[in-house]
Copies of this chain bind each other. A is one copy, B any other.
Amino acid sequence: MKAIEGGVTAATGFMAASTAAGIKYKNRKDMAMIFSISPCRAAGTFTTNVVKAAPVKWDQQVVEKSLYAQAVVVNAGIANACTGAEGLGYCKETAEAAAEALCINEDSVLVASTGVIGKQLPMDRLKAGIQTMAPTLDGSLESGTEAAQAIMTTDTKKKEVAVQVEIGGKTVTVGGMCKGSGMIHPNMCTMLAFVTTDLLISKELLQEALREDIKDTYNMISVDGDTSTNDTVLLLANGMAGNPEITEKNADYEVFCEALRYVNESLAKKMAGDGEGCTALFEVKVIGAESKAQAVTLSKSIITSSLTKAAIFGHDANWGRILCAMGYSGAQFDPEKVDLFFESAAGRMQIIKDGVALDYSEDEATKILSEPEVTAIADVKMGDAAATAWGCDLTFDYVKINADYRS
């Protein structure tokens, strides 16, 4: 497996475009389009929120019922959520406009939105954006990167990644981009992720590979515990790598799953590390668990604890809050057996042994916790299952961003 430059346009046959359509933002790009020159098998996973944005409903239909998908139209600034029948109609209008501009069927157009809830899309500007983007589609890495920038809301960094593996004697590329930042607690958020590959694979296995992978990647991150109305991960495979089609869970499938994991985990960590207002990526590993489910419950409870997140912001080794968050998670364990470690580029240190604090150096702990990527490792000594979750610190800027997001 080889990490390469690029994102959604890294795989053969994929093109992207972006434009400043004026959906909400001024003086910046806020629409993007992905297009494959060959029809794609599409897989998708979506928010579990009962309140589903209109684009989620539209894409669920396309992923389920259309044989192929070939384009994705994304806008940043308005989420098209809680917009009723009018909002759903606008998804269809968007797909129609893109289909016409690209000479494809409307049921092969996926749409995605992110931004404020409850406002209707300005369809005139959206359609004009599509008109502008269609003729400027190109397959360069730069156009992929510009698309990744265009879909940002409160994100501070564009997020893309790509990797290559060899399958059936052919080079297969998997690349993706995403945006995250707030209302991030995916339960397959306003996380949007778009992954493209030139692999040839059956639609069923493509969906299964995605469904399994998100459990350990996007569903293991949280910025604020709020599961968005718009969470969408789309995976498009156009088959242009020329590999023999994958139709069963063989060694080739496993290689693809590894590549997909690399891309999804990288994108998920980028989202967590660029959570609204955050200054640090906070990684939590729970080891020695009796089951995966227990490890997941414990690790997610820690990364979502407001008090723990504030302590990370303060570079404070406030391990009591971590034990507390484990305790109210709903998982059963013996607090008096727990070992806890902090780790970062500045070193590694054991803080708790068997539930009680060691005589550790607070200065040393603060040094470890002052890095931009910080890991806590909790060993519950019950078995050999493990899970990793990613979050971020809770900061003044998080409050600032969200106290007047709409203005």
A229 sits at the interface (CB 8 A)? yes
A165 sits at the interface (CB 8 A)? no
A307 sits at the interface (CB 8 A)? yes
Residue contact B49 to A403, C-beta cutoff 8 Å: no
Chain B residues lying within 8 Å of A319, measured Cβ to Cβ, are 117-118
Chain B residues lying within 8 Å of A118, measured Cβ to Cβ, are 319-320, 323, 356-357
Q: Which residue of B lies closest to A404 (CB)?
A: B314
A27 sits at the interface (CB 8 A)? no
Query: Which of chain A's residues 313-328 have a Cβ closer than 8 Å to chain B?
Result: 313-314, 316, 318-321, 323-328
Q: What is the number of residues of chain A that contact chain B, defined by CB distance less than 8 Å?
A: 67
A24 to B300, CA, bound (A): 32
Query: Which of chain A's residues 210-228 have a Cβ closer than 8 Å to chain B?
Result: 224-228
Chain B residues lying within 8 Å of A227, measured Cβ to Cβ, are 324, 327-328
A84 sits at the interface (CB 8 A)? yes
Contact with B along A283-307 (1 / 0, CB 8 A): 0000000000000000000001111
Residue contact A51 to B84, C-beta cutoff 8 Å: no
* Binding stretch for chain B, among A144-152, A232-240, A329-337: A329-337
Residue contact A225 to B305, C-beta cutoff 8 Å: yes
Chain B residues lying within 8 Å of A326, measured Cβ to Cβ, are 50-51
* Binding stretch for chain B, among A11-19, A37-45, A60-68, A393-401: A393-401
Residue contact A226 to B328, C-beta cutoff 8 Å: yes
Chain B's nearest CB lies how many Å from the CB of A154?
11
Which of B327, B352, B403 sits near A229, CB closer than 8 Å?
Answer: B327
Chain B residues lying within 8 Å of A224, measured Cβ to Cβ, are 306-307
Residue contact B229 to A324, C-beta cutoff 8 Å: yes
Query: Which of chain A's residues 349-407 have a Cβ closer than 8 Å to chain B?
Result: 352, 354-357, 394-396, 398-407
Residue contact B82 to A316, C-beta cutoff 8 Å: no
Q: Which residue of B lies closest to A304 (CB)?
A: B225
Residue contact B310 to A403, C-beta cutoff 8 Å: yes
Which of B47, B51, B225, B401 sits near A335, CB closer than 8 Å?
Answer: B51
Q: Known contacts A82-B323, A320-B82, A323-B82: does B402 contact A311 (CB below 8 Å)?
A: yes
Residue contact B398 to A117, C-beta cutoff 8 Å: no
Chain B's nearest CB lies how many Å from the CB of A6?
33
- A-B complex: 5 closest residue pairs judged by Cβ atoms: A117-B320, A314-B403, A51-B327, A310-B402, A227-B328
13 more CB-based (< 8 A) A-B contacts, given A82-B356, A118-B356: A49-B328, A50-B335, A51-B328, A79-B320, A82-B335, A84-B336, A84-B354, A310-B402, A311-B402, A311-B403, A313-B403, A316-B407, A396-B400
